[in-house]
Amino acid sequence: MTENGADGGDDGSAADAATDPLADEDLYRVLGPDGSPLPDATVPDLSDERFRAIYRDLVVTRRFDERAVSLQRQGRLGTYAPCAGQEGSAVGSAHALADDDLISYQYREHGAVVVRDLLDAYLPYWMGHESGTEAIAEGDVFPLNIGIAAHLPHAVGAAWAFDYRDEDRVVACHFGDGATSEGDFHEAMNFAGVFDTPTIFCCHNNGWAISVPRERQTASDTFAQKATAYGFDGVRVDGMDPLASYAVTRAAAEQARGDGGDDSAAGDSLDDDPRPTLIEFVEYRFGAHTTADDPSAYRDPDDVDPWRALDPLDRMEAFLRETGRIDDAGVAAIHDEADEVVADAIDFAESVAAEPSDMFEDAYAELPAEVRHQRDELLAAVEEHGEDAFLREE
């Protein structure tokens, strides 16, 4: 684990400074842009299997992303939020949690769902089926949230409930840089700080909130420093470095559990009292905001190129190769597995039958009269005209 120096170089290499968009940033890193561990870095002490599993989940997430965009273009999937470039933080952080820790995400951190092995259950949501969000709850993942930052108070409430019930569980709550401009973010952070809820706030600073650049989002130097106002630590990390993302999340989870632990990654106030942490994952989205967006309208396509040099998949693969943990055959096997896992998930999702009345389920324990009326009207129309009248013509 190391921090970039103020001189801008991790290892003083001029080449890195020229090609590394994060060279001048003060943040935690384990891997350099080329995937080699940085000279002063502490590589997380993980089994070979776990290192390979992180790489496998990165590859599955990228493959899922490519296929989801392609399915949307073919009219086989609704609007989708691509995550290419941002897999390292979602996958690395999710590996740092216990299996029953809760993950609450915004809409772009698909890698966290992949780590929980929930792709089959998840994909139907993007095809319009409520069953998709219902099923991921089995893996302790909260449903996707479109109302920006609205899930943060819920995540803090869930964390508070764990604490109240004396359950040894924490909540990792993901959101974007844009979400920090919402009141819900500040209310959630304040509550977590005052009541020491076991919450890890995972802020994905990908440079953009649709077309609004980071500079128009906040006058703060960093997003991490916003934690200071609420009395807990904020940490900046290279979110395109899966191992650094793992390390800071691991330390934050220990801090949230009140386990003390390794203080190298989660700021300087680690002790035995449970404390929340705000992690700022500095990263970049390679693609569009969603499949309904055209980023060339607000950013130069060339702006993306420097960030491709930090591609989390390339860095993790290079690390595994360099440390003798994988060879050509191992890489090929993981890519084949990813193709298969994603193809199976698509087959499953496309076999799910549409149930229109589902759209009225799950938001309320008891339907309000107005919503009940809408549901009854729909069911009566289906009854009258037959289901086929509501199916899209192929």
Ligand X SMILES: Cc1ncc(C[n+]2csc(CCOP(=O)(O)OP(=O)(O)O)c2C)c(N)n1
Binding site for ligand X (CB under 6 A): 108, 146-148, 175-179, 204, 206, 208-210, 289
Residue 312 CB, shortest distance to ligand X, in Å, is 16
Q: Which helix (H) or strand (E) holds 176?
A: strand 171-176
Structure tokens at 183: 């009141």
Q: Which amino acid is at 114?
A: V
What residue 115 binds from ligand X, Mg ion, none (CB within 5 to 8 A, per partner kind)?
none
Residue 179 CB, shortest distance to ligand X, in Å, is 4
Contact call for residue 177 and Mg ion (CB under 5 A): yes
Contact call for residue 206 and Mg ion (CB under 5 A): yes
Burial 287-297 (b: 16+ CB within 10 A, else e): bbbbbebebee
Residue 157 CB, shortest distance to ligand X, in Å, is 18
Main-chain phi, psi angles of 203, to 5 degrees: -95, 115
What residue 151 binds from ligand X, Mg ion, none (CB within 5 to 8 A, per partner kind)?
none
Structure tokens at 369: 């009269």
Q: State the catalytic residues.
A: 285, 289, 298
Contact call for residue 287 and Mg ion (CB under 5 A): no
Residue in the shown chain whose Cβ atom is closest to ligand X: 176
Query: Which residues, numbered 56-115, are part of the site for Mg ion (CB under 5 A)?
Result: none
Contact call for residue 176 and Mg ion (CB under 5 A): yes
What share of residues in the chain are helix, strand, coil (percent, to 5)? Answer: 50, 10, 40
Contact range with Mg ion by CB under 5 A, out of 69-77, 175-183, 325-333, 339-347: 175-183
Cβ proximity to ligand X: between 89 and 255 the closer is 89
Q: Which amino acid is at 332?
A: A
Cβ 179 vs Cβ 218: under 8 Å? no
Only one residue has tokens 């800071």, namely 248
Structure tokens at 139: 């893996």
Structure tokens at 202: 């995972």
Residue 156 CB, shortest distance to ligand X, in Å, is 17
Residues that bind Mg ion (CB under 5 A): 176-178, 206, 209
